[in-house]
Amino acid sequence: MVFAFVLFAAGAVLAMSYSFRTTASGRLHGPVTFEFHRDSTTRAKTDIQSFGVSVRTPDHRWKAVWFIEGGHRVTQPIQYGVAPAGFNTRIPPQKLLSGHTYLASASAGGGGLSSMYFRFQKNGAITFPDSPD
């Protein structure tokens, strides 16, 4: 429910927002980390205010599997399931599974938005599809 509100709010400000890049690394059953960068540079983006991961359901909806908010500055990559200092966990982390498509979404100060799809192969390798289907 909270994540749906974030997506609605993000859509409401889309006309006056900007985007940035989110990247992920790691393996299934190992730490999965997310980093944020400005589009035009490799400089880290640190003003992340909320971050969430959702899973694509069989009926093509999204169900939040982890959501954190309330932060003002991220000084290192966010590890799945570990809320950085200053963030509050709104939806506790659920186990990530192979064969499912996930959506990672972040919001930043000034209306910035970022999202990316990822999934895990049976061998645990992370992949990045262009679309959820």
Residue 78 backbone dihedrals phi, psi, to 5 degrees: -90, 125
The answer to whether residue 74 sits within a structural domain is: yes
- Residue 38 has what pLDDT? 79
Task: Round to the nearest angstrom and report the end-to-end CA distance of the chain.
Answer: 23
Question: What is the mean pLDDT of the segment spanning 4-13?
Answer: 43
Q: Is residue 133 part of a domain?
A: no
Is 132 part of any domain? no
Q: Find the CATH number of the domain harbouring 77.
A: 2.60.40
Residue 113 has pLDDT above 80, yes or no: yes
Output the CA–CA distances (angstroms, integers) from residue 69 to 50, 60, 62, 101, 127, in the order listed.
4, 25, 18, 22, 26
E-assigned strands of 41-111? 48-56, 62-69, 78-79, 88-91, 101-108
Task: Name the pTM for this structure.
Answer: 0.83
Domain carrying residue 36: 2-127
Residue 27 resides in a domain? yes
What length does the chain have? 133
Q: How far apart are CA 2 and CA 132, in angstroms?
A: 21
CA distance 36 to 64: 20
22 in any annotated domain = yes
Number of domains in the chain: 1
Q: What per-residue confidence (pLDDT) applies to 7?
A: 45
Is 90 a member of any domain?
yes
